[in-house]
Amino acid sequence: MPRPVCVNCQCEFRREKDDTGVVQMADSKPYSLWGGDLWKCPGCEAEIVIVFGKVSITKHQPEFEAAIKAHQRPGERIVYVYEGAADEGSKQNEISRPIYDLTI
Ligand SMILES: [Zn+2]
């Protein structure tokens, strides 16, 4: 099975963890929660999340933030994806993150 390759290191990424929570943002607000596999480059430690399910775990609803917290196990982080952020420079850094953004 072909695996992702780090262009900088010319190493194959290695699968680190399954079911990593990924929150798709829309208009700077959380919209949907997905689970994906976290892969890491053994050379430069770059990380990517790939292999998502066909449907989201949940979409925005009154209990959405609780669903995100329930998906996040101790020591695990949630990744936030800002649509079009790469096209707009580092916009994601200008947006204040929720307090449950990263737990290490
Ligand atoms: Zn690398």
pLDDT of amino acid 52: 85
92 CA to middle of ligand 1, Å? Answer: 23
Cα–Cα distance measured from residue 69 to residue 101, given in angstroms and rounded to the nearest whole number? 10
- Residue 85: per-residue pLDDT: 61
The pLDDT tens digits of the residues spanning 35-87 come to 999 999 999 999 999 988 888 888 888 888 888 888 888 888 899 998 766 66
C-alpha 98 – ligand 1 centre gap (Å)? 29
Burial (CB count within 10 angstroms: exposed 0-12, middle 13-18, buried 19+), residue 79: middle
Q: How far from each other are the two terminal CA atoms of the chain, in whole angstroms?
A: 31
Ligand 1 centre to CA of 5 (Å) is: 8
For residue 3, the CA-to-ligand 1 centroid distance in Å is: 13
